[in-house]
Amino acid sequence: MLYHAYEMTHAAISPMRTAARMSKEVLKNPLNPAAGTYGSRTMSAALEMFINATRRYGKPDFEIESTEVDGVETPIVEQVVWSRPFCDLLHFKRDSLEAQDRNDPKVLMVAPMSGHYATLLRGTVKAMLPGHDVYITDWRDARDVPVTDGSFDLDDYADYVIAMIEHLSRNGERVHVMAVCQPGIPVMVAASIMAMDKNPARPASLTLMGSPIDTAKNPKQPNELAKTKPLSWFENNVVTHVPWPNKGFLRRVYPGFLQLSSFFAMNLDRHVGAHVDHFRNLVRGDGDGAEAHQRFYDEYMAVMDLTAEFYLQTIDRVFQRRLLAQGEYMYRDRLVEPSAMEDIAIMTVEGEKDDITGLGQTEAAHALATGLPESKHMHFVAEGVGHYGVFNGSRWRNIIQPKIQAFIEENRARVTRSRPGRGAKVVPIKEKIPA
């Protein structure tokens, strides 16, 4: 009933939103002699606030049209190169001769499946494009996936990551994987399984950014919330069915609008203050300030549903029982052994002021990867940076991204098979590529 009530509320408000939109246009119309008065500006700003608060926010576009490669403005072409029911693998193809002549490393960016779309990493992608061949997981809204396409849980997530890594490694070079926030656990699982199987396509490196590898270290509000109630409470109170006429009708999901509510609750004062400032900017006619606010909230308010099985397993395995950190994580009846990773370099990145993934939670990955030599471990803490600053903003572009780029370049590798059935030999890529 929860989801149905949400849909019915949207339907009921729709006529009021239409009326508000028409009224706003009348108040702002240049032919209206009172358009420039304080009263008209105030009323128009209030109507716009109402419209934005009640409208649906669809999936945003990446809107990355070009990047600079070797000083040349290079067009970006978005291509879907791999697809499954719950995810498309999106390639940002750099369409210029300069880009084609380079031998930049392939980077698989695993976006979080935590309520927002992959476009939340727009700034992350932009900063990586000049020196890397970038791919990103474009997760689909679970309410748009028919129930006939089956379920999707944490093991399926790891399967998807493995399949994408294998797809991108077909040319012989091992791909580099970046996991931003939530994907840290399934990416670690996927890499561990590939190492255990001696899969020649196993990644050359993992970069884990603000990921909850061990939530017992410096727990924050989301960690505590997940532990305060039994798993049955989450299943009975926040899991519901997708209503008709959505494509995913009857699929059990954790709705995006509930996730958005929890995001707002965590920083309510900050969001209220931002909207008060936005109202004042609209009254004053400060177009730049109003546009920046709207651009941020167009992204922030665009949310997607998560499958119930994925959501509940994440609560259980990651936050409540901490199975990977405890050495008890099972992937399809197999014990996951991160110690099997012997040549997959790991870099962890944390924000000093991260209020979602506390300091030490991501760094915990190094203690699990005991099979790696010291030279394959790297940890970096960005001073004064919060959770989103780890992968977006000026400090990401100027401080964090250059360190990740150097880490990836240092750990590039190709795979050549020595004898059939005898595993694979790792060859540093610098031995194979002319300077």
Q: Are residues 87 and 126 in the same domain?
A: yes
Mean predicted confidence (pLDDT) in 52-64? 77
Q: Residue 425: pLDDT band by 50, 70, 90 thresholds?
A: very low
Range of the domain at 45: 1-56
Shared domain for 13 and 97, answered yes or no, is no
Looking at the fold, whether 201 and 345 belong to one and the same domain comes out as: yes
Residue-level pLDDT at 54: 63
Compare 412 and 38 and report the one with higher pLDDT.
412
User: In this structure, are 154 and 72 located in the same domain?
Assistant: yes
Asked, for residue 147, whether it belongs to a domain, the answer is: yes
Least confident span in 57-66, 142-151, 188-197? 57-66
Residues 8 and 116 in one domain: no
In a domain, 295, yes or no: no
Statement to judge: residues 206 and 349 lie in one domain: yes
* Average pLDDT of span 400-412: 95
Provide the mean pLDDT of the chain: 84
pLDDT at 429 over 70: no
For 26, 132, 155, 160, 207, the CA distances from 187, given in Å and listed in that order, are: 53, 20, 11, 10, 10
Give the lowest-confidence range in 10-14, 235-239, 384-388. 10-14
Contact 316, 231 (CB under 8 A): yes
- Number of domains composing the chain: 2
Lowest mean pLDDT segment, chosen from 148-162, 201-215, 247-261, 285-299: 285-299
Task: Check whether 421 has a pLDDT greater than 50.
Answer: no
Q: Lowest-pLDDT range, 44-53, 54-63, 101-110, 141-150? A: 44-53
> Is residue 51 in some structural domain?
yes
pLDDT above 50 for 394: yes
434 confidence band (pLDDT: 50, 70, 90): very low
More reliable by pLDDT, 157 or 271: 157
Check whether 431 has a pLDDT greater than 60: no
pLDDT at 35: 75
Residue 420 clears pLDDT 50, i.e. is over it: no
Are 96 and 160 within one domain?
A: yes
Q: Once rounded to an integer, what is the mean pLDDT over residues 169-176?
A: 87
Which percentage of the chain shows pLDDT scores above 70? 79
Q: Do 313 and 364 sit in the same domain of this protein?
A: yes
pLDDT of res. 103: 86
Q: What is the mean pLDDT of residues 375-393?
A: 93
Per-residue HEC secondary structure of 69-136 comes to ECCEEEEEEEEEEEEECCEEEEEEEECCHHHHHCCCCEEEEECCCCCECHHHHHHHHHHHHHHCEEEE
Residue 257 lies in a domain: no
Question: Residue 324 and residue 321: Cα distance in Å, rounded?
Answer: 9
Q: Tokens for 130?
A: 């000049």
End-to-end distance of the chain based on CA atoms, in angstroms? 63
Does some domain include residue 434?
A: no
In a domain, 250, yes or no: no
Of residues 17 and 318, more confidence is placed in: 318
In the structure, what pLDDT confidence band is assigned to residue 415 with cuts at 50, 70 and 90?
Answer: low
1 versus 344: the higher-pLDDT residue is: 344
Higher pLDDT, 36 or 189: 189
pLDDT for 298 equals 65
- What would the mean pLDDT of 333-351 be, rounded to a whole number? 96
Do 187 and 208 form a contact (C-beta atoms < 8 A)? yes
Residues 207 and 348 in one domain: yes
**CA 394 to CA 384: how far, in whole Å?**
12
Q: What share of the chain is helix, strand, coil (3-state, %, to 5)?
A: 45, 20, 35
DSSP reduced 3-state for 321: coil
Residue 87 falls within a domain, yes or no? yes
Indicate whether 111 and 195 sit together in one domain.
yes
Could you tell me the CATH number of the domain that includes residue 329?
3.40.50.1820
Alpha helices in 206-255 (DSSP H): 221-227, 231-237
Same domain, 19 and 157: no
Residue 424 pLDDT more than 80?
no
What confidence category does residue 126 fall into, taking pLDDT thresholds of 50, 70 and 90? very high
**Partners of residue 73 on adjacent β-strands:** 68
Mark whether 72 and 52 lie in a shared domain: no
Domain boundary pick from 56, 83, 100: 56
Higher pLDDT, 13 or 268: 13
Calculate Rg over the CA atoms of the chain. Answer: 23
Residue 234 lies inside a defined structural domain of this protein: no
Q: What is the pLDDT of residue 285?
A: 64
Q: Is the pLDDT of residue 356 over 60?
A: yes
Q: Mean of the pLDDT values across residues 282-287?
A: 58
pLDDT tens-digit profile of 202-234?
A: 999 999 999 999 999 988 877 788 888 999 999
